[in-house]
A = this chain, B = another copy of it.
Amino acid sequence: MTAKDRKDKANRHFASDNWAGAPPEIMKALALANAGHAPAYGADEWTARAVKLIEKQFGGNCLAFLVSNGTAANVLGLSAMLKPHQSVLCSSVAHILVDECGAVEKCTGARLDPVPHMNGKIMAQTLEPFLLAAGNQHQSQPAVISVTQATERGTLYSIDEIRALSRFARKHGLRLHMDGARLANAAAALDSPLRDFTRAAGVDVLSFGGTKNGILFGEAVVFFDKNLAKDFPWIRKQGLHLMSKMRFIGAQFEALLRDDLWLRNARHANAMAALLRAQLEKIPGVEICFPTDINMVWCRFPERAIPKIQKRFSFHIEDPATRMARLVTSFDTSKADVMDFAAVVKQAVDGK
């Protein structure tokens, strides 16, 4: 899509929450942090405050580290949990499995085992067969269960479901990892403190996403088991993610966590997705695919309608076989954006 093409289209799209920039609070925090010299590589005060604020969200007595993107948060967090001869059990649509170009495998040497899922969610009972490998010297040893909260299908694990997975993990000597690229959206949707469905539900290591929640760059890796964190400074450095001007990630996270900006961003995005779904449900010929728990609507448009809609709005068709469209809202999606989109869809579906 060229610049000109985009000008002819809406300014805000439904392609992904990482198509959005950042709200003014974040930009202001960046500007304020740009004051003179500060120690490099995370030894600055903004990073210190951000890390403390993150840890506080989870009740303290845990360890948070900042990295610059979500791939790094997941891959490096998992690196701290894995040996090369081990494996991760995750859903067959898990981002770490299908969208990271083999980064987990390359960086950890370990394998990802795809587990059947329901609307993006895996259940403890489905994991049983994977335990057969345990103790067999010919097979990678299951060591970590990784769940995405909220999932790649826009659905949510309930707190009980996460607890069931962590109980299963504990029982079998595994650890629980959570990819929380959209953790804020999950918290908003569950109307629950971050701690309740992460640490308190038995998660060991968490990727806490900032980028999709409204900052330019930055994710946190949070270790609830501090033992797992003891090598993380080196894992991060050797993993190419010790940023020198770390304060500018710290400052963004600080702004995000102060005054619940993160939660407001997430609530708004979720609300816009709910509105979008409601509008799409009214249009005959549009088929909704999954529950819409967070800021993501999956649906199917009539085939001929797709190019017409995409002429005005960008969004992804995940799979040419199923033709499922993924629509993502963000902190800056407006009601008008949603209504415009729905109108364009209506017209396209009606063949106008």
Contacts and interface: CB of A to CB of B under 8 A. Distances in A.
Interface of A: 1, 3, 6, 11-13, 15-16, 18-22, 27, 30-31, 33-41, 43, 45, 68-72, 75-76, 83-85, 87, 98-103, 105-107, 109-111, 114, 129, 132, 137-141, 211-212, 216-217, 231, 233-245, 247-248, 314, 319-321, 330, 332
A138 B101 contact: yes
A22 B105 CA distance: 36
B69 A69 contact: no
A245 B105 CA distance: 24
Counted per complex, copies of this chain come to: 4
Given A1-B43, A41-B137, A102 B98 contact: no
A148 to B, nearest CB: 15
A236 B242 CA distance: 16
Contacts of A43: 1
A120 to B, nearest CB: 18
Given A20-B37, A39-B19, A320 B103 contact: no
A68 B69 contact: yes
A130 to B, nearest CB: 12
A101 B41 CA distance: 14
B19 A34 contact: no
Contact of A68 (B18, B68, B314): B68
Contacts of A40: 15-16, 18-19
A19 B38 contact: yes
Contact of A242 (B41, B71, B132): B71
A66 to B, nearest CB: 12
A105 B107 contact: no
A138 B41 CA distance: 9
A110 B106 CA distance: 7
Contact of A71 (B102, B217, B240): B240
Given A36-B332, A106-B110, 17 more contacts: A12-B37, A13-B37, A20-B36, A34-B216, A41-B137, A68-B69, A71-B241, A87-B102, A102-B111, A102-B140, A105-B110, A106-B109, A106-B238, A132-B319, A137-B237, A211-B244, A217-B245
